[in-house]
Amino acid sequence: MKKLFVTAAFAVATLSFGAVNTAAATDMKADIVDTAVEAGAFNTLVAAVQAAGLVDVLKSDGPFTVFAPTDDAFAALPEGTVESLLAEEGLGTLTSILTYHVVPGKVMSTDLIGQALEAETASGMMISIDATGEAVIVGDATVVAADIETSNGVIHVIDAVILPPSN
């Protein structure tokens, strides 16, 4: 399997934005955090980023590629999981999970169509990306909307929360 680092690119098939507010996606002045807030489909992700103290990082210059789980993706976790992650004793695990959803660099969908590889995440762990089939799979999640450009990177919407190998 190939490995992807900051200098390489990630690709996903062109997908519709579905329930995500595309008005926020087209505002090139908004950073990753503001775009997620404006979209309205990432309230749990935004709360988690705030709790983990990662807002300033995701508002910095970047660039970053964020695989953003929707509120529905967080709701699909076992009951009580989100609450325990947001509690003070769960913040280390939460930070590990969130940084596993971020790849340094701006990686657009058109850069890797038809390939399978691994990318190094902001957590330092590798994550698999498979763009060889009809759906693009990142870890155990499927990309449901791609290439939401922001001032400091790009968001790809995913349908599940991806857990790092140690969690």
- Over residues 19-50, the pLDDT tens digits come to 444 444 444 479 999 999 999 999 999 999 99
User: Is the separation of the CB atoms in 143 and 103 below 8 Å?
Assistant: no
**Quick one: pLDDT band at residue 135, thresholds 50, 70, 90?**
confident
What is the arithmetic mean of pLDDT over 121-136? 92
Rounded distance between C-alpha atoms, residue 155 and residue 167, angstroms: 23
d(CA 148, CA 108): 9
Report the C-alpha gap between 16 and 34 in whole angstroms.
21
Q: What pLDDT, on a 0 to 100 scale, did the predictor assign at position 10?
A: 32
The answer to whether residues 148 and 18 touch, using CB atoms and an 8 Å cutoff, is no
pLDDT digits (tens, 9 = 90+) for 70-126: 999 999 999 999 999 999 999 999 999 999 999 999 988 887 789 999 999 999 999
Give the C-alpha separation, 4 to 16, whole Å.
25
| Domains along the chain with CATH numbers | 2-158 (2.30.180.10)
Does the pLDDT of residue 2 top 60, yes or no?
A: no
For the cut 80, the answer to whether the pLDDT of residue 136 exceeds it is: yes
At residue 82, the 3 state secondary structure works out as: helix
Choose among 95, 133, 129: nearest CA to 8. 129
pLDDT range class, residue 12, cuts 50, 70, 90: very low
